[in-house]
Amino acid sequence: MQILFVFSSLFRFKDSRMEDVWLVDFYAPWCGYCKKLEPIWQEVGAELTRSGSPVRVGKMDGTAYSGVASEFGVRGYPTIKLLKGELAYNYKGPRTKDDIIEFANRVAGPAVRSLPSRQMFEHVLKRHSVLFLYVGGESPLKEKYTEVASELIVCTYFFSASEDVLPESVALHELPSVVVFKDGTYFTYDEYEDGSLSSWVNRERFQSYLPIDGFTLYELGETGNTALPCSVKYSAKSSLMLSCRDFQFGHMEGNDYINSLIMGEVSVPSIIILNTSNEQYFVPAEPVEDLEQLLRFFSSVLDGSAPAFGGDGFFQRIKRVAYDARSTIMSVFRSSPLLGCFLFGLPLGVISLMCYGICMAESDDDTELMKRDGFTDEEEEEGEEEEQQRATENYSVRL
């Protein structure tokens, strides 16, 4: 049985494209990240084949088949797509074997999975940190829920069940309902308070308190959350998180990434609120020592009284480019001074030689012009002396 398909025939790919579920790596031969992904991709293919998954794993040279790559919206390499029928799902998670396999198995299955019993519900509740559940019979809400699940299955899991599947601790005021289970509790969707179902699911698909890195921060920025409290090694309480649902809580190890984000030095531990929609950030005016001070800080951000820093304006972007360039140069010199001197000294040396050559070329051109006019430097000096001598003789004759 073939573990990994390398598409060398465009017609072969199009023939099998609609018949099976495909997990395809669009790569470029010259791409270093693609080469780094190659052994992981081999493991993904082997694991999915071993487990009996219906997902077939393949790879395609996007530079050789640029038309197909363009058709699927490939704009960079490597790009991982799961192709299921007419739909193409883009993988945006970490490029690890387990994460890619989990994505493939989730998206390859039905958008909404049915939970026939309470035992099954308790099983998936233990297995997933966040899950969405539709409770009730056929309704317009269920149609909308299925539509949202088809779109956002790349991010999370969607289930459906009847009311008797739920434990007695879960009380729903009306049916049908859409419920999210996370952080040891649950929240029910309210169309009037929460807006569209799609935006609500997109906001609620994260745990209330989670580790944050650059990728997670980017994903949070796409959810429409108004602000992200970024807590660097700060211990938050669950009651606080539940009472401040306007914020997404998280913690970040170290301060390198946040330093780059705010273009400054952040001490550890610190509390920073980042508005992911416009890259503005807020910091407490005084050290936070208790829960009451923290709540006051949150309230000042929500009512607009807290001063905002940063942003995504034109001058801020220029400043960010300059800061990133300086940081890159400094990091190179710190890690390898000799390499830094070579990388930055060599171009400066070449530029200096070019400037010197240009200046000397201009000087040579002037000399050549003087030679064409019949003069050299020595002849010009002799001519000046003769002129002075004739002027002196003329003056003597007049006397």
Q: What is the DSSP string of 377-388?
A: HHHHHHHHHHHH
Q: By C-alpha distance, which of 253, 248, 244 is closest to 214?
A: 253
pLDDT band at 104; cut points 50, 70, 90? very high
Largest Cα–Cα distance of the chain, in whole Å? 134
Q: By C-alpha distance, which of 134, 132, 116 is closest to 186?
A: 132
Mean pLDDT along residues 57-86: 86
Q: By C-alpha distance, which of 128, 269, 270 is closest to 207?
A: 128
What pLDDT sits at residue 21? 87
Between the CA atoms of 96, 101, 106 and 108, what dihedral angle is there, to the nearest 10 degrees? 130
Catalytic residue ranges: 31, 34
What pLDDT sits at residue 370? 52
**Mind giving me the DSSP string for 270-293?**
EEEEEETTTTEEE--SS---SHHH
Q: Is the pLDDT of residue 265 over 90?
A: no
CA distance linking residue 50 with residue 57, whole number of Å: 12
Does the model's pTM come out above 0.85?
no
pLDDT tens digits along 182-194 = 988 899 999 888 8
CA distance linking residue 149 with residue 144, whole number of Å: 9
Q: Is the pLDDT of residue 373 over 90?
A: no
Task: Looking at the chain, list the stretches that DSSP marks H as alpha helix, in order from N- to C-terminal side.
Answer: 10-17, 32-50, 66-71, 97-108, 118-127, 140-152, 191-194, 197-204, 214-221, 238-243, 256-262, 291-302, 314-335, 337-372, 377-398
Mean pLDDT along residues 256-276: 75
Contact 53/104 with Cβ under 8 angstroms? yes
Most confident range (mean pLDDT) of 3-17, 77-91, 280-294, 296-310 is: 77-91
> CB under 8 Å to 134, separation ≥6 — which residues?
112, 141, 142, 145, 158, 159, 160, 161, 176, 177, 178
CA distance linking residue 340 with residue 355, whole number of Å: 23
What pLDDT sits at residue 394? 56
What pLDDT sits at residue 279? 75
What pLDDT sits at residue 227? 42
Q: By C-alpha distance, which of 110, 75, 112, 109 is closest to 92?
A: 75
Contact 130/184 with Cβ under 8 angstroms? no
Higher local confidence (pLDDT), 161 or 311: 161
Mean pLDDT along residues 80-101: 87
Q: Is the pLDDT of residue 398 over 60?
A: no
pLDDT tens digits along 218-249 = 677 666 544 444 444 444 444 455 456 667 77
What pLDDT sits at residue 234? 41
Parse the chain into domains and list their residue ranges.
Answer: 5-108, 113-205, 209-315
Q: Is it true that 113-205 and 209-315 share their CATH fold?
A: yes
Higher local confidence (pLDDT), 392 or 69: 69
Fold of 113-205: Glutaredoxin (3.40.30)
Fold of 209-315: Glutaredoxin (3.40.30)
CA distance linking residue 373 with residue 366, whole number of Å: 11
What pLDDT sits at residue 202? 87
Q: Is the pLDDT of residue 41 over 80?
A: yes
Distance of CA 394 to the CA centre of its chain: 87
Q: Is the pLDDT of residue 139 over 90?
A: yes
CA distance linking residue 139 with residue 178, whole number of Å: 12
Instruction: State percent of the chain over pLDDT 90.
Output: 22
pLDDT band at 51; cut points 50, 70, 90? confident
In angstroms, what CA-CA distances link 124 with 7, 26, 99, 129, 318?
37, 33, 18, 9, 48
Q: Is the pLDDT of residue 62 over 50?
A: yes
Asked which of 58-72, 139-153, 341-355 is least confident by mean pLDDT, the reply is 341-355
pLDDT band at 180; cut points 50, 70, 90? very high
Q: Is the pLDDT of residue 107 over 70?
A: yes
Asked which of 74-88, 122-136, 325-339 is least confident by mean pLDDT, the reply is 325-339
Query: Which tokens in the block code for residue 154?
Result: 């790349």
What pLDDT sits at residue 120? 94
- Burial of residue 27 (CB within 10 Å: 0-12, 13-18, 19+) is buried
Q: Is 85 helix (H, G, I), strand (E, B) or coil?
A: coil
* Domain 5-108 indexed as CATH 3.40.30.10: yes
CA distance linking residue 47 with residue 45, whole number of Å: 6
Asked which of 211-225, 307-321, 349-363 is least confident by mean pLDDT, the reply is 211-225
pLDDT band at 16; cut points 50, 70, 90? low
> CB under 8 Å to 10, separation ≥6 — which residues?
65, 68
Q: Is the pLDDT of residue 11 over 50?
A: no
Contact 205/130 with Cβ under 8 angstroms? yes
Contact 303/292 with Cβ under 8 angstroms? no
Mean pLDDT along residues 90-109: 89
Most confident range (mean pLDDT) of 59-63, 319-323, 362-366 is: 59-63
Q: Is the pLDDT of residue 1 over 50?
A: no
pLDDT tens digits along 25-36 = 999 999 888 999
CA distance linking residue 154 with residue 230, whole number of Å: 25
Rg (CA), the chain: 34
